[in-house]
Amino acid sequence: MKNRPLLAFFILTALIFLISCNGNDYIPKPRGYFRIALPEKSYKTFDTVFPYSFDYPAYSVIQPDVNKNAEPYWMNLDFPSFKGTLHISYKPVTSDSLLYQYFEDARTFANKHIAKADDIEPIIISDDKNQVYGLIYDITGSGVASTYQFCVTDSTTNFLRGALYFNIMPNNDSLSPVIDFIKADIDHLIKTLRWKKKS
């Protein structure tokens, strides 16, 4: 009988606790992402013995492509702070059929992302003044490995292809500001692309 007030106190405390935990006023917070600091836009000119030149971002690094299948004039444009790389490959054009094949290969590479893509939007490039013609493939989708690819030619001698990849698990919703930032750099690269005349 001495324990009855103590027992009543514990039961009352337990009831108050259970009632107070039964509220429906909890609202889960949306998933947040880290704020990404983007550098100020600034460009340098790549102009060497390669058969092409262009402007590239000062916050990127040009590296030779050391892949065993790499061909002459292939390179990687690395974005170290974003863990991204623009893989650039070059092919000489010796015939119309070969040029057609290069464009078909580029289309096939872009279409490999169809399974995870929400949309693949082809954007036509046509610069008569500098003889730069081709396509950009703007690929959207949260799990897409390569979100931006391009292929350009002067239609007679040169063909250049680029594909942007990130060295992290694809989550393009969180990477969206970085992707848009680098897309603008790739657009600038294409706009400033110049073919070298063969001597």
Which helix (H) or strand (E) segment is 54 a member of?
strand 52-57
The CA distance from 195 to 132, in Å, is: 8
The pLDDT of residue 87? 98
Q: List CB contacts of 162: < 8 A, sequence separation 6 or more.
A: 86, 87, 88, 89, 149, 150, 151, 186, 189
94: region left, alpha or beta (phi > 0 left; psi from -120 to 50 alpha): alpha
Tens of pLDDT, residues 103-151: 999 999 999 988 888 999 999 999 999 999 999 999 998 888 899 999 9
pLDDT in tens, the chain (199 residues): 566 676 777 777 776 666 666 556 656 666 655 567 899 999 999 999 999 999 999 999 999 999 999 999 999 999 999 999 999 999 999 999 999 999 999 999 999 988 888 999 999 999 999 999 999 999 998 888 899 999 999 999 999 999 999 987 766 677 889 999 999 999 999 999 999 987 5
The pLDDT of residue 11? 74
Which has the closest alpha carbon to 56: 153, 180, 186?
186
The pLDDT of residue 56? 98
The pLDDT of residue 32? 54
Residue 136 is encoded by which pair of tokens? 């950009």
The CA distance from 4 to 116, in Å, is: 65
The reported pTM is 0.80
CATH number, span 43-195? 3.40.1000
The pLDDT of residue 29? 62
The pLDDT of residue 130? 97
